[in-house]
Amino acid sequence: MAGADLIDGRAIAATIQADVARRVAGLKTRGVQPGLAFVRVGEDPASKVYVGRKEKTCGELGIHSETHVLPEAADERELLELISGLNADPRLHAILVQAPLPAQIRESVVYSAVLPGKDVDGFHPVNVGKLALGDPTGFKPCTPAGIRELLAHSGVRTEGAEVVILGRGNIVGKPLAILLCQKEPNANATVTICHSRTRDIRAHCRRADILVAAMGAPEFVKADMVKPGAVVIDVGVNRVPDPGAKGGSRLVGDVDFAGVRAVAGKITPNPGGVGPMTIAMLMQNTVRAAEIAAHI
């Protein structure tokens, strides 16, 4: 049996980015180029890769980007000073501080310091609040927004669907739950969040019409946890040891892809599923920030 259809995140991201490129061209005719500042603290290898991919996409779409790197030992004050300068720079419409941050820096303090109008991550309390209230004027966090687009573009109906999300993090699980239970198109789902204290995760998973794995546990979701025909979205990026692989390790998702593909109806490949969508939504938020600044 061929198994589940693949949800092609790269192809869907490309259609969204084509629209972003058109909007960037429209801004150019008015003398405006969208600008996005990246901030990294330390040398986390995964963060370097992620920011590198985002910078490359900015270049392809005509968005100005610049990356500021602080040393691993930087304190909160240094980072807040950097953000304050970026907030004040009119060439920059958007700011992204890559998580995770070193332990001496409080993420909540940092994300509260980014101007809400430049907060294309959707992590500032004003944007989190707007998301919770269903106020469309805020910026929605990129991975949850990308997952909603993946579902919509793949013809997956969320209306009345049982959605089970594994993971309650502030970047994916919690905001995705809020987004998918809103009373609006491509939402209206019945959402359950499972986490490390959930009593019977398998029983919850088996009820799901749409199962989203975002807890960071390598290949946690097995075939016997999935209802036949369900839609499975794998957000996980986990590096696991593999003596046979180049560098002695390889990347796997939170889903046992080969096993789950045999029972699911649709599934995201990993890589090539959620990752490209996160970047596409970041580009969309950035062009929107620039349009708002240009009063379009």
Torsion angle (degrees, nearest 10) of CA 179, 41, 94, 122: 10
Q: Which stretch binds ligand GUN (CB under 6 A): 70-78, 91-99, 149-157, 285-293?
A: 91-99
- For ligand GUN, give the closer residue by CB, 143 or 158: 143
The one-character DSSP state at 227 is -
* Least distance CB 244 / ligand GUN (angstroms): 28
Query: Could you confirm whether 284 is annotated as catalytic?
Result: no
Query: Measured between alpha carbons, how far is 72 from 44 in angstroms, rounded to an integer?
Result: 9
- For ligand GUN, give the closer residue by CB, 78 or 162: 78
* Least distance CB 189 / ligand GUN (angstroms): 21
Q: Name, in order, each residue with C-beta under 8 angstroms of 55's C-beta and a sequence gap of 6 or more.
A: 38, 65, 67
What does the DSSP assignment read for 275-290?
HHHHHHHHHHHHHHHH
Query: Could you confirm whether 135 is annotated as catalytic?
Result: no
Q: Tell me which of 17, 98, 118, 254 is the catalytic residue.
A: 98
- For ligand GUN, give the closer residue by CB, 12 or 110: 110
Query: Measured between alpha carbons, how far is 58 from 65 in angstroms, rounded to an integer?
Result: 6
Q: Are strands 94-97 and 35-41 parallel, antiparallel or unpaired?
A: parallel
Torsion angle (degrees, nearest 10) of CA 56, 59, 64, 65: 10
Q: Does 121 bind ligand GUN (CB under 6 A)?
A: yes
Query: Measured between alpha carbons, how far is 151 from 266 in angstroms, rounded to an integer?
Result: 10
Is the preceding peptide bond at 218 cis, omega within 30 degrees of 0?
Answer: no
- For ligand GUN, give the closer residue by CB, 119 or 291: 119
Q: Name, in order, each residue with C-beta under 8 angstroms of 215's C-beta and a sequence gap of 6 or more.
A: 166, 167, 169, 173, 195, 196, 236, 254
Q: Does 65 bind ligand GUN (CB under 6 A)?
A: no
Whole-number Cα distances in Å, 117 to 159, 174, 257, 285, 287: 31, 22, 38, 10, 12
Binding residue for ligand GUN (CB under 6 A) from 37, 92, 97, 212? 97
Q: Which stretch binds ligand GUN (CB under 6 A): 11-19, 29-37, 92-100, 257-265?
A: 92-100
Q: Which stretch binds ligand GUN (CB under 6 A): 1-9, 14-22, 97-105, 187-195?
A: 97-105
State phi, psi for 193 to the nearest 5 degrees: -105, 125
Binding residue for ligand GUN (CB under 6 A) from 16, 58, 96, 164? 96
Q: Tell me which of 17, 118, 119, 121 is the catalytic residue.
A: 121
Query: Could you confirm whether 256 is annotated as catalytic?
Result: no
Specify the DSSP element, H or E, that contains 79. helix 76-88
Contact predicate 146/280, CB 8 Å: yes
* Least distance CB 142 / ligand GUN (angstroms): 5
Binding residue for ligand GUN (CB under 6 A) from 57, 143, 268, 284? 143
* Least distance CB 121 / ligand GUN (angstroms): 5
Size of interface with ligand GUN, in residues (CB under 6 A): 9
* Least distance CB 249 / ligand GUN (angstroms): 19
Print the binding letters for residues 165-184 with ligand GUN: x by CB under 6 A, - otherwise.
------x-------------
Give me the residues that bind ligand GUN (CB under 6 A), please.
Answer: 96-99, 121, 142-143, 171, 278
Catalytic machinery residues: 54, 98, 121
